[in-house]
Amino acid sequence: MRVKQLSIFLENRAGRLDEVAELLGAGGINIRALSLADTSDFGILRLIVNHPEEAFRILHEAGFTLRFTEVIAVEVPDQPGGLASVLKILRDSQLNVEYLYAFVEKRAASAIVIFRVEELDRAVGILQQKGVRLLSSEEVCGL
């Protein structure tokens, strides 16, 4: 139930994000979800893509500094309080959420939230035990 996420370190300068998008597009890589956090000097671009190994190769060969991070993709009811219900499970289990980002899948009544949590295996087990649906990499990339 783990999903490979690319974490790419970008200098905070005009056009750097476009370079990533251009390279991935030219390589036939489809971005399924993304998050960008920045400081005055650099940013961290987090991506879920349809072909993570190929995306890594393309960006590494182009000189980008990047790494894989394992995250989980959680199906959350797309309604008021939906996210809170999942966060409560993690809080009650004393699992810290390091970061998260989401995208809405319009064909379903759910949103998909990408979580980076401490103790990933424990979080997966607890969420599954509580009946929360986690998506595989293949499912996320197929949306």
**pLDDT (0 to 100) of residue 140:** 83
The DSSP-derived string for 24-58 is HHHTTPPEEEEEEEE-SSEEEEEEEES-HHHHHHH
Alpha helices, DSSP H, located in 4-143: 16-26, 52-61, 82-92, 120-129, 137-141
**pLDDT (0 to 100) of residue 108:** 65
**Same fold flag, 2-69 and 71-141:** yes
Collect all residues with Cβ–Cβ distance below 8 Å to 66 and sequence separation of at least 6: 6, 7, 8, 9, 56, 59, 60
Whether residue 137 is predicted with pLDDT greater than 90 in this model: the reply is no
Tens digit of each residue's pLDDT (9 = 90 or more) over 56-115 = 999 999 999 999 999 999 999 888 999 999 999 999 999 999 999 987 665 566 778 899
Whether residue 8 is predicted with pLDDT greater than 80 in this model: the reply is yes
Give the CATH H-level superfamily of domain 2-69: VC0802-like (3.30.2130.10)
Whether residue 16 is predicted with pLDDT greater than 80 in this model: the reply is yes
Q: Give domain limits for the chain.
A: 2-69, 71-141
Tens digit of each residue's pLDDT (9 = 90 or more) over 18-65 = 999 999 999 999 998 899 988 778 899 999 999 999 999 999 999 999
**pLDDT (0 to 100) of residue 104:** 60
Secondary structure letter of residue 79 according to DSSP = S
Query: Per CATH, is 71-141 categorized as 3.30.2130.10?
Result: yes
**pLDDT (0 to 100) of residue 57:** 98
Share the mean pLDDT of the chain.
90
Centre a 10 Å sphere on the Cβ of residue 61 and count the other Cβ atoms it contains. 9
